Amino acid sequence: MPSTLFHILLLLLMPPLLLGVINKTKAAFAGRVGAPCLQPYYDLAKLLRKGSVFSSTTTWVFRAGPVVTLAATLVAALLVPLGNHPAIISFNGDMILFAYLFGLARFFTTSAALDTGSAFEGMGAAREVTFACLVEPTLFFILITLARMSKSLSLTPMLLYPSPAVWGEAGAAMLLLVGALFIALLAENCRIPFDDPTTHLELTMIHEVMVLDHSGPAFGLILYGAALKLFVLGAVFVNLALPFKSGNLLVDWAAFAAAMLFLAVLVGVVESVMARLRLVRIPQLLVAATILSAFAMLLIVR
Protein backbone atom coordinates (compact mmCIF):
# COMPACT_ATOMS: atom_id res chain seq x y z
CA MET A 1 0.00 0.00 0.00
CA PRO A 2 2.70 2.57 0.86
CA SER A 3 4.45 1.73 -2.39
CA THR A 4 1.19 2.28 -4.33
CA LEU A 5 0.81 5.61 -2.59
CA PHE A 6 4.37 6.52 -3.51
CA HIS A 7 3.70 5.38 -7.09
CA ILE A 8 0.71 7.77 -7.33
CA LEU A 9 2.64 10.63 -5.76
CA LEU A 10 5.55 10.15 -8.13
CA LEU A 11 3.14 9.99 -11.06
CA LEU A 12 1.43 13.22 -10.05
CA LEU A 13 4.39 15.24 -8.86
CA MET A 14 7.38 14.33 -10.99
CA PRO A 15 6.22 15.26 -14.53
CA PRO A 16 6.92 19.03 -14.43
CA LEU A 17 10.44 18.30 -13.19
CA LEU A 18 11.22 16.65 -16.53
CA LEU A 19 10.40 19.88 -18.35
CA GLY A 20 12.62 21.77 -15.94
CA VAL A 21 15.54 19.40 -16.50
CA ILE A 22 15.12 19.58 -20.28
CA ASN A 23 15.23 23.36 -20.17
CA LYS A 24 18.22 23.35 -17.82
CA THR A 25 20.07 21.01 -20.19
CA LYS A 26 19.32 23.24 -23.13
CA ALA A 27 20.51 26.25 -21.17
CA ALA A 28 23.73 24.48 -20.26
CA PHE A 29 24.34 23.65 -23.92
CA ALA A 30 23.75 27.26 -24.87
CA GLY A 31 26.14 28.47 -22.16
CA ARG A 32 23.38 30.08 -20.08
CA VAL A 33 22.56 29.56 -16.42
CA GLY A 34 18.92 28.91 -17.25
CA ALA A 35 15.83 28.82 -15.12
CA PRO A 36 15.89 26.59 -12.05
CA CYS A 37 14.78 22.99 -12.53
CA LEU A 38 11.68 23.67 -10.47
CA GLN A 39 10.58 26.56 -12.71
CA PRO A 40 7.67 24.58 -14.32
CA TYR A 41 6.17 24.13 -10.82
CA TYR A 42 6.30 27.90 -10.24
CA ASP A 43 4.78 28.46 -13.67
CA LEU A 44 1.96 26.03 -12.93
CA ALA A 45 1.24 27.57 -9.54
CA LYS A 46 1.11 31.00 -11.11
CA LEU A 47 -1.05 29.95 -14.06
CA LEU A 48 -3.58 28.25 -11.80
CA ARG A 49 -4.03 31.50 -9.88
CA LYS A 50 -4.31 33.72 -12.93
CA GLY A 51 -7.46 35.10 -14.54
CA SER A 52 -8.83 33.70 -17.78
CA VAL A 53 -9.54 35.28 -21.14
CA PHE A 54 -11.96 33.47 -23.41
CA SER A 55 -12.39 34.28 -27.05
CA SER A 56 -15.95 35.24 -27.86
CA THR A 57 -16.01 32.75 -30.75
CA THR A 58 -15.45 29.79 -28.45
CA THR A 59 -18.04 27.44 -27.01
CA TRP A 60 -18.11 24.66 -24.43
CA VAL A 61 -15.86 22.56 -26.67
CA PHE A 62 -12.99 24.98 -26.05
CA ARG A 63 -13.48 24.67 -22.30
CA ALA A 64 -13.85 20.89 -22.47
CA GLY A 65 -10.57 20.48 -24.39
CA PRO A 66 -8.02 20.79 -21.54
CA VAL A 67 -10.34 19.05 -19.07
CA VAL A 68 -10.96 15.90 -21.12
CA THR A 69 -7.35 15.79 -22.28
CA LEU A 70 -5.98 15.87 -18.76
CA ALA A 71 -8.54 13.34 -17.47
CA ALA A 72 -7.77 10.90 -20.31
CA THR A 73 -4.01 11.28 -19.77
CA LEU A 74 -4.44 10.68 -16.03
CA VAL A 75 -6.40 7.47 -16.64
CA ALA A 76 -3.79 6.34 -19.17
CA ALA A 77 -1.09 7.06 -16.59
CA LEU A 78 -2.70 4.56 -14.21
CA LEU A 79 -2.00 1.75 -16.69
CA VAL A 80 1.79 2.15 -16.86
CA PRO A 81 4.25 0.46 -14.49
CA LEU A 82 6.91 2.75 -13.04
CA GLY A 83 10.29 1.16 -12.67
CA ASN A 84 9.84 -2.24 -11.13
CA HIS A 85 6.47 -1.38 -9.59
CA PRO A 86 3.36 -2.70 -11.39
CA ALA A 87 0.76 -0.29 -12.71
CA ILE A 88 -2.09 0.84 -10.44
CA ILE A 89 -4.60 -0.86 -12.73
CA SER A 90 -3.61 -3.71 -14.95
CA PHE A 91 -5.64 -6.14 -17.04
CA ASN A 92 -5.45 -7.95 -20.36
CA GLY A 93 -5.66 -5.55 -23.25
CA ASP A 94 -4.94 -2.43 -21.21
CA MET A 95 -2.38 -1.36 -23.83
CA ILE A 96 -5.18 -0.89 -26.38
CA LEU A 97 -7.12 1.32 -24.00
CA PHE A 98 -3.84 3.14 -23.26
CA ALA A 99 -3.35 4.03 -26.93
CA TYR A 100 -7.00 4.97 -27.46
CA LEU A 101 -7.11 7.24 -24.41
CA PHE A 102 -4.42 9.36 -26.06
CA GLY A 103 -6.64 9.35 -29.15
CA LEU A 104 -9.51 10.72 -27.08
CA ALA A 105 -7.24 13.39 -25.62
CA ARG A 106 -6.08 14.35 -29.11
CA PHE A 107 -9.66 14.60 -30.39
CA PHE A 108 -10.51 17.14 -27.71
CA THR A 109 -7.26 19.13 -27.86
CA THR A 110 -7.58 19.61 -31.60
CA SER A 111 -11.32 20.33 -31.44
CA ALA A 112 -10.63 23.01 -28.84
CA ALA A 113 -8.05 24.51 -31.18
CA LEU A 114 -10.53 24.58 -34.05
CA ASP A 115 -13.11 26.22 -31.80
CA THR A 116 -11.12 29.43 -31.70
CA GLY A 117 -11.57 29.91 -35.43
CA SER A 118 -7.94 30.94 -35.82
CA ALA A 119 -6.17 29.75 -38.97
CA PHE A 120 -3.00 29.41 -36.96
CA GLU A 121 -4.50 26.97 -34.48
CA GLY A 122 -6.22 25.10 -37.28
CA MET A 123 -2.80 24.49 -38.82
CA GLY A 124 -1.46 23.17 -35.55
CA ALA A 125 -4.45 20.88 -35.11
CA ALA A 126 -4.13 19.49 -38.64
CA ARG A 127 -0.45 18.71 -38.06
CA GLU A 128 -1.07 17.19 -34.66
CA VAL A 129 -3.67 14.69 -35.91
CA THR A 130 -1.75 13.85 -39.09
CA PHE A 131 1.56 13.14 -37.41
CA ALA A 132 -0.07 11.31 -34.50
CA CYS A 133 -1.86 9.10 -37.03
CA LEU A 134 1.51 8.09 -38.45
CA VAL A 135 2.83 7.29 -34.97
CA GLU A 136 -0.07 4.92 -34.16
CA PRO A 137 1.14 1.97 -36.29
CA THR A 138 4.63 2.28 -34.74
CA LEU A 139 3.17 2.07 -31.26
CA PHE A 140 1.15 -1.02 -32.15
CA PHE A 141 4.07 -2.77 -33.83
CA ILE A 142 6.06 -2.15 -30.63
CA LEU A 143 3.20 -3.43 -28.48
CA ILE A 144 2.63 -6.57 -30.54
CA THR A 145 6.35 -7.35 -30.56
CA LEU A 146 6.49 -6.95 -26.80
CA ALA A 147 3.35 -9.07 -26.44
CA ARG A 148 4.98 -11.84 -28.45
CA MET A 149 8.20 -11.67 -26.46
CA SER A 150 6.56 -11.61 -23.04
CA LYS A 151 3.55 -13.79 -24.00
CA SER A 152 1.26 -11.41 -22.21
CA LEU A 153 -1.43 -8.94 -23.18
CA SER A 154 -1.00 -6.33 -20.50
CA LEU A 155 1.36 -3.38 -20.16
CA THR A 156 2.75 -4.31 -16.76
CA PRO A 157 4.12 -7.79 -17.61
CA MET A 158 5.06 -6.54 -21.06
CA LEU A 159 7.18 -3.68 -19.77
CA LEU A 160 8.61 -5.54 -16.78
CA TYR A 161 9.71 -8.35 -19.07
CA PRO A 162 12.95 -6.92 -20.52
CA SER A 163 15.94 -8.14 -18.51
CA PRO A 164 19.66 -8.29 -19.28
CA ALA A 165 19.04 -11.86 -20.46
CA VAL A 166 16.40 -10.71 -22.91
CA TRP A 167 18.69 -7.97 -24.16
CA GLY A 168 21.43 -10.52 -24.62
CA GLU A 169 19.16 -12.86 -26.49
CA ALA A 170 17.19 -10.46 -28.66
CA GLY A 171 19.40 -7.39 -28.47
CA ALA A 172 18.91 -6.34 -32.08
CA ALA A 173 15.15 -6.41 -31.83
CA MET A 174 15.20 -4.56 -28.50
CA LEU A 175 17.51 -1.93 -29.96
CA LEU A 176 15.14 -1.38 -32.87
CA LEU A 177 12.19 -1.18 -30.50
CA VAL A 178 13.91 1.35 -28.26
CA GLY A 179 14.92 3.42 -31.28
CA ALA A 180 11.43 3.42 -32.74
CA LEU A 181 9.90 4.20 -29.36
CA PHE A 182 12.26 7.13 -28.85
CA ILE A 183 11.18 8.61 -32.19
CA ALA A 184 7.52 8.02 -31.26
CA LEU A 185 8.14 9.63 -27.87
CA LEU A 186 9.61 12.77 -29.42
CA ALA A 187 6.84 12.99 -32.01
CA GLU A 188 3.99 12.38 -29.55
CA ASN A 189 5.32 14.98 -27.16
CA CYS A 190 6.02 17.51 -29.88
CA ARG A 191 9.74 17.85 -29.21
CA ILE A 192 12.55 18.65 -31.64
CA PRO A 193 13.04 17.40 -34.40
CA PHE A 194 9.26 17.33 -34.91
CA ASP A 195 8.20 20.50 -33.20
CA ASP A 196 9.95 23.20 -31.25
CA PRO A 197 8.23 23.79 -27.91
CA THR A 198 10.09 27.05 -27.25
CA THR A 199 8.58 29.13 -30.03
CA HIS A 200 4.95 30.02 -30.47
CA LEU A 201 4.91 32.13 -33.55
CA GLU A 202 6.32 30.22 -36.42
CA LEU A 203 4.32 28.73 -39.19
CA THR A 204 5.58 25.22 -38.57
CA MET A 205 4.59 24.87 -34.94
CA ILE A 206 2.30 22.07 -33.80
CA HIS A 207 1.44 21.74 -30.14
CA GLU A 208 2.23 25.23 -28.91
CA VAL A 209 0.21 26.86 -31.63
CA MET A 210 -2.85 24.76 -30.80
CA VAL A 211 -3.01 26.16 -27.30
CA LEU A 212 -2.36 29.82 -28.15
CA ASP A 213 -5.77 30.97 -26.98
CA HIS A 214 -5.89 29.07 -23.71
CA SER A 215 -5.06 31.14 -20.67
CA GLY A 216 -4.90 30.97 -16.90
CA PRO A 217 -5.96 27.71 -15.22
CA ALA A 218 -6.90 26.09 -18.56
CA PHE A 219 -3.38 26.66 -19.86
CA GLY A 220 -2.01 25.35 -16.58
CA LEU A 221 -3.97 22.11 -17.07
CA ILE A 222 -2.63 21.83 -20.62
CA LEU A 223 0.96 22.39 -19.51
CA TYR A 224 0.61 19.83 -16.75
CA GLY A 225 -1.13 17.35 -19.10
CA ALA A 226 1.71 17.68 -21.62
CA ALA A 227 4.29 17.06 -18.89
CA LEU A 228 2.31 14.05 -17.69
CA LYS A 229 2.19 12.62 -21.20
CA LEU A 230 5.96 13.01 -21.52
CA PHE A 231 6.36 11.30 -18.16
CA VAL A 232 4.05 8.40 -19.04
CA LEU A 233 5.59 7.70 -22.44
CA GLY A 234 9.01 8.25 -20.89
CA ALA A 235 8.20 5.60 -18.27
CA VAL A 236 7.36 3.15 -21.06
CA PHE A 237 10.65 3.99 -22.74
CA VAL A 238 12.72 3.69 -19.57
CA ASN A 239 11.16 0.31 -18.76
CA LEU A 240 12.26 -1.01 -22.12
CA ALA A 241 15.66 0.60 -22.28
CA LEU A 242 16.72 -0.05 -18.67
CA PRO A 243 16.39 -3.78 -18.02
CA PHE A 244 18.14 -3.88 -14.64
CA LYS A 245 15.95 -4.79 -11.69
CA SER A 246 17.52 -5.20 -8.27
CA GLY A 247 14.43 -6.52 -6.52
CA ASN A 248 14.84 -3.98 -3.75
CA LEU A 249 11.96 -1.55 -4.06
CA LEU A 250 13.83 1.52 -2.91
CA VAL A 251 16.80 0.91 -5.19
CA ASP A 252 14.44 0.33 -8.12
CA TRP A 253 12.51 3.54 -7.45
CA ALA A 254 15.77 5.47 -7.27
CA ALA A 255 17.04 3.87 -10.47
CA PHE A 256 13.77 4.66 -12.21
CA ALA A 257 13.78 8.31 -11.12
CA ALA A 258 17.41 8.68 -12.17
CA ALA A 259 16.65 7.09 -15.53
CA MET A 260 13.72 9.45 -16.09
CA LEU A 261 15.96 12.42 -15.35
CA PHE A 262 18.56 11.00 -17.71
CA LEU A 263 15.85 10.69 -20.38
CA ALA A 264 15.02 14.35 -19.84
CA VAL A 265 18.70 15.24 -20.27
CA LEU A 266 18.75 13.10 -23.42
CA VAL A 267 15.75 14.96 -24.84
CA GLY A 268 17.45 18.21 -23.93
CA VAL A 269 20.63 17.13 -25.73
CA VAL A 270 18.67 16.15 -28.82
CA GLU A 271 16.97 19.54 -28.77
CA SER A 272 20.28 21.32 -28.40
CA VAL A 273 22.20 19.54 -31.13
CA MET A 274 19.46 19.13 -33.72
CA ALA A 275 17.40 21.54 -35.71
CA ARG A 276 13.75 21.06 -36.36
CA LEU A 277 13.03 19.01 -39.47
CA ARG A 278 11.36 20.55 -42.45
CA LEU A 279 7.65 19.82 -42.30
CA VAL A 280 7.69 17.61 -45.39
CA ARG A 281 10.44 15.44 -43.87
CA ILE A 282 8.49 14.62 -40.72
CA PRO A 283 6.18 11.98 -42.25
CA GLN A 284 9.24 10.28 -43.75
CA LEU A 285 10.92 9.96 -40.37
CA LEU A 286 7.70 8.68 -38.79
CA VAL A 287 7.21 6.06 -41.48
CA ALA A 288 10.86 5.07 -41.02
CA ALA A 289 10.14 4.52 -37.32
CA THR A 290 7.17 2.32 -38.24
CA ILE A 291 9.38 0.23 -40.49
CA LEU A 292 12.00 -0.05 -37.75
CA SER A 293 9.39 -1.40 -35.36
CA ALA A 294 8.08 -3.78 -38.02
CA PHE A 295 11.66 -4.98 -38.42
CA ALA A 296 11.81 -5.69 -34.71
CA MET A 297 8.70 -7.83 -35.05
CA LEU A 298 10.26 -9.66 -37.97
CA LEU A 299 13.38 -10.42 -35.93
CA ILE A 300 11.30 -11.84 -33.10
CA VAL A 301 9.20 -13.99 -35.41
CA ARG A 302 11.81 -15.59 -37.60
Partner 1 sequence: MVFVWNIDVDPVGSLLWAIVLIGLIGLPGLLLKRPGPGQLLSVCITACAALWGMAGALRILGGAPASRYLFDWPLPFGPCELSVDPLSALFLLPLLLAALCCSLYGLAYLPAAAQPAAEKRVTLFSGLLLGSMALVLVARHGVLLLVAWEVMALSSWLLLMTDQQNLQVQRAGTVYLLATHTGSMALFVLFGLLKGESGSFAFPAAHSLALGGTVTLVMLVAALVGFGAKAGIMPLHIWLPGAHANAPSHVSALMSGIMLKIGIYGVIRTVSFFQELPVWFGWLVLLLGAVSAVTGIALASVQSDLKRLLACSSIENIGIICIGLGMALVGLQSGNRVLAVFGLAGAFIHIINHALFKPLLFLGSGAIIHASGTRQIDRMGGLSRVLPRTAPLFLVGSLAICGLPPLNGFVGELFLYFGAFTDGMFSDLPLIGFVAPILALVGGLAVITFVKLFGAIFLGTARDPGPAHGHEAPAAMVLSMGLLAGLCLLAGVGAPLLLQLVAPVVIQYAAVSPQLFAQISGAVPLRQIALLNGLLLAGIVAVWLLWRVLVQRAPVAASGTWGCGYLAPTARMQYTGSAFSELLGGLVSGLVGSRGRLSGLSGLFPASSRFAGATTERILDLMIMPSLRGADWCLAWLRRMQHGHLHLYILYVFATLFVLMVWSQP
Cβ proximity to partner 1, 37 vs 135, nearer residue: 135
Among 7, 85, 106, 229, binds partner 1 (CB under 8 A): 106
Among 75, 166, 249, 261, binds partner 1 (CB under 8 A): 75
* Interaction residues for partner 1, span 206-235 (CB under 8 A): 212-213, 216-218, 220-221
Among 84, 110, 156, 189, binds partner 1 (CB under 8 A): 110
Among 84, 156, 189, 290, binds partner 1 (CB under 8 A): 290
Residues near 182 by beta carbon (within 8 Å), at least 6 away in sequence: 237
Among 68, 228, 236, 289, binds partner 1 (CB under 8 A): 68
Report whether 50 contacts 221 (CB < 8 A). Answer: no
Q: Is 264 exposed, middle or buried (0-12, 13-18, 19+ CB in 10 A)?
A: buried
Cα(180)–Cα(178) distance, integer angstroms: 6
What binding mask, one character per residue, do residues 119-148 give for partner 1 by CB under 8 A, x or -? xxxxx-xxx-xx-xxxxxxxxxx-xx--xx
Using the rule CB under 8 A, give the single segment among 5-13, 30-38, 55-63, 262-270 that binds partner 1.
55-63
CB of 262 to partner 1, least distance (A): 29
Cα(129)–Cα(23) distance, integer angstroms: 26
* Interaction residues for partner 1, span 270-289 (CB under 8 A): 283
Q: Does 166 bind partner 1 (CB under 8 A)?
A: no
Cα(232)–Cα(176) distance, integer angstroms: 20
Output DSSP code: residue 154. S
Cα(275)–Cα(270) distance, integer angstroms: 9
Cβ proximity to partner 1, 96 vs 254, nearer residue: 96
Q: Does 252 bind partner 1 (CB under 8 A)?
A: no
At residue 245's C-alpha, the angle toward residues 242 and 251, to 5°, is: 105
Q: Does 46 bind partner 1 (CB under 8 A)?
A: no
Cα(38)–Cα(43) distance, integer angstroms: 9
Using the rule CB under 8 A, give the single segment among 16-24, 30-38, 52-60, 266-274 that binds partner 1.
52-60
Residues near 43 by beta carbon (within 8 Å), at least 6 away in sequence: 223
